[in-house]
């Protein structure tokens, strides 16, 4: 048993099992308190909400809550291990929502037979919450699930593995390519994986300026190409009219490798074939497509990122989801649209160029300097400025694009 394995199990088991609990925001000590909190007093907000549903934001915790919902079909890069096994990850997301953005998140693991049953289950409970963060639901079902739920729910529904990952990847990619002296619109991309995260990341990169014809994607069968007849409609959008079939065929001369697939799928020989000054984001969790030690030992001119906390350049949706929901909840956005996502990309990318506060350095043992460059293309999750920068940009974008129920930012918001 490795040290980290035992430490992780102990962390989850002691002093109480799990990572989250409920806390009270109102007194419940006296009979008067109970008469207000429960019967008879609770009847008053019930009547108010029955006659005006938006009063749920006024008298209940709805406006500061997010449901983190999974079916466990794509738990990190561990695969389809079922809803119950996904609970530690969902509790982990709830911990991050609370710690970084003071949002009260509840994890919900759904057992279901059909995609429709999952959608109906989530729709049925949606009004309880201010937002829904879908997590670790595999492609292609995730696309239909999210689309349907956005249609059916009056609150933001956001598949984190798609859009949280895409926002952070785009921010990191813009910065990494700038440092390498390359342009997004000219860069050649190889994306290993063609699932939830990969399709969303490449879609977002195209929105940010990457050229569709410069993108090669691969799944377990190899390169997505137009002569294949085994691809779903989402993969078809990224199929190229090409004779290239393997990773080795497409990685030769590529500027970027983006891994959203599984562990150890990229070799030293592969990265030797890439163009000068490549960018490698090997984002599979917990084990990346190539270990940073191996990549750095192979080439000196690359920028390397992973999804993990224990290497430089953590390309992980934790940099986005707590903060984008903070902004969306605070203006009661009914959805999280492209304008809000692009605002988040820009806020994250820009923050990486600013001097890093000492409090961030203190959270990273042994690190004495962090400065925009090859080992610092993205802000750190511990950076307290992420909250104000992303939430404010997102909330403003929600107002400007007409999906906020508030017409202006609250006075002094995030100042
Ligand atoms: N760093 C971050 O913030 C994030 C990282 N991720 C990581 O991305 C990975 C994928 O997650 P997600 O998109 O949600 O899962 P999905 O199940 O939706 O997609 C997985 C994709 O990876 C492909 N794949 C798996 N194994 C291989 C292989 N051996 N060779 C080629 N392709 C392979 C699958 O191919 P096929 O279609 O043929 O089955 C599929 O296209 C996970 O490792 C996850 O940890 C995800 C979200 C955020
Ligand atoms: C980070 C994350 O959401 C994942 O790996 O699935
Ligand atoms: Mg995930």
Question: What is the average pLDDT across 194-213?
Answer: 98
Count CB-CB contacts under 10 A for residue 364.
15
Residue 365 is predicted with a pLDDT of 86
Q: Which residues line ligand 2 (CB under 6 A)?
A: 76, 136, 160-161, 285, 307, 316-317
Residue 2 is predicted with a pLDDT of 75
User: Six-digit token pair at 108?
Assistant: 């919900």
383 pLDDT more than 70: yes
The percent of residues in the chain predicted with pLDDT above 70, rounded, is 100
User: Which residue puts its alpha carbon closest to atom 2 of ligand 2?
Assistant: 76
Q: How far apart are CA 393 and CA 248, in angstroms?
A: 41
Residue 351 is predicted with a pLDDT of 98
Q: Is 76 close to ligand 1, i.e. is its CB under 6 Å away? A: yes
Question: Ligand 2 centre and the CA of 16: distance in Å?
Answer: 25
Question: Ligand 2 centre and the CA of 102: distance in Å?
Answer: 20
DSSP characters over 286-346: SS-SS-HHHHHHH-SS-EEEES-TTSSSB--GGGTHHHHHHHHHHTTBS---HHHHHHHHH
Please identify which residue in the block is written with the tokens 């008053």: 44
Q: How far apart are CA 41 and CA 33, in angstroms?
A: 9
pLDDT in tens, 166-186: 999 999 999 999 999 999 999
User: Which residue puts its alpha carbon closest to atom 3 of ligand 2?
Assistant: 161
Q: Is 169 close to ligand 1, i.e. is its CB under 6 Å away? A: no
Helix, strand, or coil (residue 20) = coil
Which ligand ends up closest to the CA of 138? 1
Contact 203, 260 (CB under 8 A): no
Residue 327 is predicted with a pLDDT of 98
Which ligand ends up closest to the CA of 196? 1
Question: What is the average pLDDT across 285-302?
Answer: 98
Confidence of residue 348 (pLDDT cuts 50, 70, 90): very high
State which of 317, 321, 378 you would mutate to test the pocket of ligand 2, scoring each by most atoms of that ligand within 8 A of its C-beta.
317
Q: Is 5 close to ligand 1, i.e. is its CB under 6 Å away? A: no
In angstroms, the Cα distances linking 385 to 75, 233, 256, 360, 391 are 29, 39, 29, 10, 10
Question: What is the average pLDDT across 338-347?
Answer: 98
Of 287, 289, 302, 317, nearest to 378 by C-alpha is 317
Q: Which atom of ligand 2 is nearest to the CA of 93?
A: 3
Helix, strand, or coil (residue 16) = coil
DSSP characters over 192-212: E--SHHHHHHHHHHHHHT--G
Q: Angle, to 10 degrees, between the axis of helix 321-330 and the axis of helix 338-351?
A: 130
Reply yes or no on whether 38 is catalytic: yes
Q: Which atom of ligand 2 is nearest to the CA of 74?
A: 6
Confidence of residue 263 (pLDDT cuts 50, 70, 90): very high
Q: Is 227 close to ligand 1, i.e. is its CB under 6 Å away? A: no
215 pLDDT more than 80: yes
Question: What is the average pLDDT across 311-318?
Answer: 97
330 pLDDT more than 90: yes
Q: Angle, to 10 degrees, between the axis of helix 321-330 and the axis of helix 385-400?
A: 50
Helix, strand, or coil (residue 230) = coil
Question: Ligand 3 centre and the CA of 161: distance in Å?
Answer: 5
Contact 166, 206 (CB under 8 A): no
Question: Ligand 1 centre and the CA of 104: distance in Å?
Answer: 28
Of 251, 220, 250, 225, nearest to 237 by C-alpha is 225
Q: How far apart are CA 198 and CA 1, in angstroms?
A: 33
Sheet holding 131-134, edge to edge: 104-109, 65-70, 131-134, 157-159
State which of 93, 197, 263, 282 you would mutate to test the pocket of ligand 2, scoring each by most atoms of that ligand within 8 A of its C-beta.
197
Q: How far apart are CA 188 and CA 250, in angstroms?
A: 9
Q: Which of 87, 93, 182, 392 is catalytic?
A: 93
367 pLDDT more than 90: no
Q: Is 222 close to ligand 1, i.e. is its CB under 6 Å away? A: no
pLDDT in tens, 13-44: 999 999 999 999 999 999 999 999 999 999 99
DSSP characters over 362-373: HTSTT-----SB
For 415, counting Cβ atoms within 10 Å of its Cβ (0-12 exposed, 13-18 middle, 19+ buried), the class is exposed
pTM: 0.98
202 pLDDT more than 80: yes
Question: Ligand 2 centre and the CA of 66: distance in Å?
Answer: 17
Q: How far apart are CA 394 and CA 398, in angstroms?
A: 6
Q: How far apart are CA 364 and CA 34, in angstroms?
A: 45
Residue 366 is predicted with a pLDDT of 85
């Amino acid at each position: 048993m490795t040290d980290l394995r035992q430490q992780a199990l102990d962390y989850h088991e002691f002093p109480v099992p799990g990572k989250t609990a409920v806390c009270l925001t109102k007194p419940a000590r006296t009979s008067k308190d109970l008469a207000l909190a429960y019967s008879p007093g609770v009847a008053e907000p019930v009547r108010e909400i029955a006659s005006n549903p938006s009063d749920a934001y006024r008298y209940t915790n709805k406006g500061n809550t997010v449901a983190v919902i999974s079916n466990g079909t794509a738990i990190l890069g561990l695969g389809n291990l079922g809803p119950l096994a996904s609970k530690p990850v969902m509790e982990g997301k709830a911990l991050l929502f609370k710690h970084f953005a003071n949002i009260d998140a509840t994890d919900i693991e759904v057992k279901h037979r059909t995609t429709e049953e999952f959608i109906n289950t989530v729709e049925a409970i949606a009004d309880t919450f201010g937002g829904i963060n879908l997590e670790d639901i595999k492609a292609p079902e995730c696309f239909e699930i999210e689309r349907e739920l956005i249609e059916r729910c009056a609150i933001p529904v956001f598949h984190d593995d798609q859009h949280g990952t895409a926002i952070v990847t785009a921010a990191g990619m813009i910065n990494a390519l700038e440092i390498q002296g390359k342009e997004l619109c000219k860069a050649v991309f190889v994306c290993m994986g063609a699932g939830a995260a990969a399709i969303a990341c490449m879609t977002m990169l195209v929105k940010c300026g990457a050229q569709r014809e410069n993108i090669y994607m691969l799944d377990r069968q190899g390169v997505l190409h137009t002569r294949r007849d085994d691809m779903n409609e989402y993969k078809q959008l990224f199929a190229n009219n090409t004779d290239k079939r393997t990773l080795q065929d497409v990685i030769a001369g590529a500027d970027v490798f983006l891994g959203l697939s599984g562990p150890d799928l990229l070799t030293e020989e592969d990265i030797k074939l890439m163009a000068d000054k490549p960018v490698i984001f090997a984002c599979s969790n917990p084990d990346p497509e190539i270990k940073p030690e191996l990549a750095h030992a192979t080439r000196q001119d690359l920028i390397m990122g992973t999804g993990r906390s224990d290497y430089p350049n953590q390309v992980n949706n934790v940099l986005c989801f707590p903060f984008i929901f903070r902004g969306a909840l605070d203006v009661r956005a009914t959805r999280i649209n492209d304008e809000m996502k692009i605002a988040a990309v820009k806020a994250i990318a820009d923050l990486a160029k600013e001097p890093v506060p000492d409090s961030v350095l203190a959270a990273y043992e042994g690190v004495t300097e962090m400065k925009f460059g090859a080992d610092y293309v993205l802000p750190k999750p511990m950076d307290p400025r992420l909250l104000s920068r992303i939430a404010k940009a997102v909330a403003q974008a929600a107002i400007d694009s007409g999906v906020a129920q508030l017409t202006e930012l609250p006075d002094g918001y995030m100042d």
